[in-house]
Structures are given as structure tokens and as C-alpha cells.
């Protein structure tokens, strides 16, 4: 095992040393064993993790820090942000040489808590754990969860809830808001220091290039576009795309009131604290570009306006290319020179107009038979004339591909999950966990870790939600 503390040692003027504060009767509920093995960490038991997190001599809290940053929240600049309830414990150098942050969420008050208690609740930590692992196994770039810690300590949000902690793992915790903060506060020496740090540890291959700032921004633009394209293709609504929740690595980060689509509603809003729908499902691609424009301001000491514009103009093509690739795969359409967007868009329009479940119907599409009238899908649509026209067009295209049905179906099932994270199921997991029963949490994790498999033993997690399960209100409270 090799630990490093580059934030504490090399960004000391940008962070504040903070020790994690233990919760009452804290206990480790689960450890992500596969991630633990990837990181090469030596602590395998629940007791070992409690000791290493809260012991005075622990290598994980000797250099723990809270970070300062700002961010655009719902379009408005806020300079008064930072790690208000989490601390960066350490960086670990994995056996393959990759560098990963270990961040403890719910670690207690920091200088950036703004009069809050610095805690996280069991509800929100479970939701982040489930979501990050669900996205990871779908192939969507994301932070991950290493372990979940429950407690008997009560904290108050809209009501009294059990306090909890979670260790989050990702390439780094550098956000758009870090760069924005030092630019807007005119601390340009610290901004340059942050860029130098980023090139040293996270954009190493660019560090010696005379175009390194343009290339770094270009990489962030491309990675962000690909991430959001994946969100749109798999029906994921993040819910709070503030720039302090955007990672320079193009990973899904800081989970709040997220949701996977149930019925396909393009303008779906998963966050009841967002009545104007700034972060609605269909708004995410546009917000991604808005956020990149906000980040790009921090590059203006190093790049001309024309250079920044040229890089930002790459965003749309990266997003459309990645989205098109995934959607063709979901619909069983081979990449070629033929524009199949009309077929894909018509399918989406039919799902939207008849309020069909997004994931369930894409999974059913895997078994589509090119022969008109044979498809089991047809009977589930009200407007069968429209369906027949679309099915005939799809069948004609499939016949030209010369792709055997069995092979096409198997390929499609690698892009159309049978198991996706449902808010109503997550709530059932939370309800049981708050009573001390984490068995449903563990079982649901198994289903989410193999989303494309046909697993009859987990069939109950594949059903579309009941009507009441589609209307759960999720807020930013955590």
C-alpha cells in the first residue's frame, strides 16, 4: 500500500487541515470488496476500517483536509462554498500506478460548514452508494463508494434521521468550482498553482506541451460531453448540475436528488427544489455547455477568447457522436454511413407520447422481430398504426444489416439494462436500513452490479414501478 498527501503538502494554501469526527456507535455496514482490491488497501474487516478512520495514529487522518471552492448554483455565483461535511483523507497509489482520492463524507464540521452540522444522513449515503455503483456497472463515468458507515447518532434535516458516513473514491476531487473561485476572487497566483498541480498529477501527458491549457480544457470538454451523452442515453437525471458538482475528470459527482427515468418524460425534473426545471433531463446537455463556459473563464489568463471558443465548440460534436454511438447500439443499428436518427427519434417520440417506461421498453426492443406483426411490442402500444409504420422502417433497415437476430439481440442487451436504480426501490432499501436491516441494500447492490444480466432470482428489481413509485419527491437535503 502506498498513500500520498499531495493536497496537504502541495496545496496547503488551498485547503484546511481537519480531523474526521466519529459518530456515536459508528459501525461499518458494507465494504466494496472489488474496489478495495483494485486500490490495494490492506484493511479488509469492518473493525479494521473503524480503527483506521478514527484512531489518532491512523495514516488516513494524519493529513486529512477540507477544500475551499466556489460554484455557480442554479446559475448564480456563490463564492462561499467548500467541503462543509467531508474531508479528503488521503490519496492512494493503486498497484497499477493509478492515483485515487479517499474522501470521507459526513465527517463533521469544517471551516466551510456555514453553521451546518457537517454530517450526512443514512438516507443520502445509501442513495449515493447505490447510484455510484449502478452508474459504474452501466459503464458511465462516476465516483464510487468504498464503504458505508451507520451510527446511532441522530441529525436533523426535515426530521430527525440517523447520521452516516461514506468513503467516496475518484481520480481527484477537483471541481470546476475550484478554478472558478480563484479566478473570480482574483487570486491568480493560487489559480496558477492549482493549474500546475493539475498538470503534475492529473494531466501529466500535457504538462510539457506549449498548448497545455488549451489541451486541458479540450480534454475536460470531451470527457464532460461523453459523460452527459451517457446520462441521456441511459435515462439518468443528475438533478443538481451546479459547477461545484462538476468534476474536471468528466465523472458523475456529488449525488443529490438524482433519478433514472421511469416513464419517458423528456422534460422530467427529479429535484423538487428546481421548480423552473433548470436541471431537467432534457436540459442536461445545454447545462453541461453552460458550465464549461463558466469553467473556461478560469482559462482566460492563459488562452485568448478565440482559443476558448474553438475548444468549447467541440462540445456539441463530442456529445452527439457519443450519444449516437450508444443509441444505435441500444436500437440494434450497426454504425454505417446511413443516418438512422429518424428511426431512433421516432421510437423515443412513441415512448414519450404513450408514457412508456424508458428502460423496460428498450430492453423489450432487444427481442424485436423484423417481421411486421410478430413483435410482442405491438400490442402494448395504443397507436398501433404509428407503431406499424415505425416497425416496418426498422425492419427494412435491419434486413440490410445482415446481422442474425440472435447476435443482434445479445449485442443490444449489453446496452439496454434489465436492472436500473429506481427511486421507489431505493426508498424501500432506506426504510429497512433505518430499522437496522441492510439485507435489501445488499441484495439490490447485487442486481445493480450486473444490470445487463438475465437473472430470474432478481426479477423483482426489473419490474416498472407502481404509480405511487413514480411520484416520489427528492430534495437536495442530505
- Positions in the chain whose pLDDT score sits under 70: 337, 372-374, 475-478
One domain, residues 43 and 68: yes
The kind and range of the H/E element at 259 are strand 259-260
Neighbours of 358 (CB within 10 A): 22
pLDDT confidence of residue 13: 87
CA dist 245 and 253 (Å) reads 6
DSSP sequence for 62-101: SS-EEEEEEEEETTEEEEEEE-SSEEEEEEEE-TTS-EEE
Query: Which residues, listed in sequence order, are joined to residue 17 by a DSSP beta bridge?
Result: 65
CB 419 within 8 A of CB 462: yes
CB 149 within 8 A of CB 166: yes
pLDDT confidence of residue 177: 98
Catalytic hit among 244, 254, 263, 357: 244
Residue count of the chain: 478
74 lies in a domain? yes
pLDDT confidence of residue 428: 96
One domain, residues 132 and 170: yes
CB 23 within 8 A of CB 163: yes
466 lies in a domain? no
One domain, residues 380 and 452: no
203 lies in a domain? no
pLDDT digits (tens, 9 = 90+) for 399-409: 888 899 999 99
The position carrying cell 433497415 is 397
94 lies in a domain? yes
CB 110 within 8 A of CB 83: yes
Q: Which of 141, 174, 207 lies at the terminal end of a domain, its last residue?
A: 174
CB 343 within 8 A of CB 397: yes
Is 257 in a helix, a strand, or coil?
Answer: coil
One domain, residues 110 and 83: yes
pLDDT confidence of residue 43: 95
The kind and range of the H/E element at 284 are helix 284-296
Q: Which of 174, 205, 231 lies at the terminal end of a domain, its last residue?
A: 174
CB 54 within 8 A of CB 26: yes
One domain, residues 334 and 444: no
Q: What is the number of helices (H) and of strands (E) in the chain?
A: 16, 12
Q: Which domain holds residue 386?
A: 326-356+367-412
331 lies in a domain? yes
Q: Which of 174, 192, 207 lies at the terminal end of a domain, its last residue?
A: 174
One domain, residues 333 and 447: no
pLDDT confidence of residue 369: 85
9 lies in a domain? yes
CA dist 390 and 108 (Å) reads 56
471 lies in a domain? no
One domain, residues 437 and 393: no
393 lies in a domain? yes
367 is catalytic: no
CA dist 245 and 238 (Å) reads 10
**CA atoms within 13 A of residue 319's CA, in its CB half-sphere:** 20
One domain, residues 456 and 407: no
One domain, residues 374 and 453: no
Report how many domains make up the chain: 3
One domain, residues 71 and 146: yes
pLDDT digits (tens, 9 = 90+) for 271-307: 989 999 999 999 999 999 999 999 999 999 999 999 9
One domain, residues 45 and 151: yes
One domain, residues 116 and 165: yes
Going from the C-alpha of 275 to that of each of 158, 244, 272, the distances in angstroms are 19, 20, 6
β pairing state of 65-73 and 99-105 = unpaired
Amino acid at each position: 500500500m502506498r498513500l500520498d498527501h499531495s493536497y496537504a503538502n502541495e496545496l496547503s494554501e488551498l485547503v484546511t487541515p481537519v480531523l474526521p469526527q466519529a459518530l456515536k456507535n459508528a459501525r461499518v455496514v458494507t465494504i466494496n470488496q472489488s474496489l478495495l482490491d483494485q486500490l490495494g488497501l490492506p484493511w479488509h474487516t469492518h473493525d479494521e476500517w473503524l480503527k483506521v478512520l478514527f484512531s489518532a495514529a491512523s495514516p488516513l487522518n494524519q493529513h486529512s483536509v477540507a477544500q475551499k471552492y466556489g460554484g455557480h448554483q442554479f446559475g448564480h455565483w456563490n463564492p462561499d462554498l467548500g467541503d462543509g461535511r467531508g474531508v479528503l483523507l488521503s490519496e492512494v497509489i493503486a498497484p497499477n500506478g493509478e492515483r485515487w482520492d479517499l474522501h470521507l463524507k459526513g465527517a463533521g464540521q469544517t471551516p466551510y460548514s456555514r453553521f451546518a452540522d457537517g454530517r450526512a444522513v443514512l438516507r443520502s449515503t445509501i442513495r449515493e452508494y447505490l447510484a455510484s455503483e449502478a452508474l459504474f456497472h452501466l459503464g458511465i463515468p462516476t465516483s464510487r463508494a468504498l464503504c458505508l458507515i451507520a451510527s446511532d447518532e441522530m441529525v436533523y434535516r426535515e426530521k430527525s434521521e440517523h447520521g452516516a458516513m461514506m468513503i467516496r473514491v475518484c481520480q481527484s476531487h477537483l471541481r470546476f468550482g475550484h478554478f472558478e473561485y480563484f479566478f473570480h476572487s482574483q487570486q491568480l497566483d493560487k489559480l496558477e498553482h492549482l493549474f500546475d498541480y493539475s498538470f503534475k498529477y492529473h494531466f501529466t501527458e500535457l504538462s510539457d506541451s506549449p498548448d497545455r491549457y488549451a489541451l486541458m480544457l479540450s480534454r475536460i470538454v470531451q470527457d464532460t460531453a461523453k459523460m452527459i451523452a451517457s446520462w441521456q442515453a441511459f435515462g439518468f437525471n443528475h438533478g443538481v448540475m451546479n459547477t461545484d458538482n462538476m468534476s474536471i475528470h468528466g465523472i458523475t459527482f456529488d449525488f443529490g436528488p438524482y433519478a433514472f427515468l421511469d416513464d419517458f418524460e423528456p422534460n422530467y425534473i427529479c429535484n423538487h427544489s428546481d421548480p423552473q426545471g433548470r436541471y431537467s433531463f432534457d436540459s442536461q446537455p445545454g447545462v453541461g455547455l453552460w458550465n464549461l463556459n463558466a469553467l473556461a473563464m478560469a482559462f482566460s489568463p492563459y488562452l485568448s477568447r478565440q482559443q476558448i471558443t474553438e475548444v468549447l465548440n467541440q462540445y456539441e460534436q463530442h456529445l452527439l457522436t457519443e450519444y449516437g454511438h450508444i443509441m444505435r447500439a441500444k436500437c440494434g443499428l450497426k454504425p454505417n454511413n446511413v443516418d438512422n436518427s429518424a428511426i431512433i427519434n421516432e421510437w423515443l417520440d412513441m415512448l414519450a407520447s404513450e408514457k412508456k417506461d424508458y428502460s423496460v421498453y428498450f430492453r423489450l426492443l432487444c427481442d424485436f422481430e423484423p417481421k411486421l406483426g410478430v413483435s410482442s411490442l405491438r400490442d402494448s402500444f395504443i397507436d398501433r398504426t404509428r407503431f406499424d409504420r415505425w416497425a416496418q422502417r426498422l425492419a427494412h433497415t435491419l434486413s440490410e444489416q445482415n446481422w442474425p437476430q440472435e447476435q443482434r439481440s445479445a449485442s443490444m442487451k449489453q446496452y439496454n439494462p434489465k436492472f436500473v436504480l429506481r427511486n421507489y426501490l431505493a426508498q424501500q432499501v432506506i426504510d429497512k436500513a433505518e430499522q437496522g436491516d441492510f439485507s435489501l441494500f445488499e441484495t439490490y447492490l447485487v442486481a445493480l452490479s450486473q444490470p445487463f444480466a438475465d437473472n430470474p432470482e432478481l426479477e423483482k428489481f426489473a419490474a416498472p414501478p407502481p404509480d405511487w413509485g413514480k411520484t416520489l419527491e427528492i430534495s437536495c437535503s442530505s
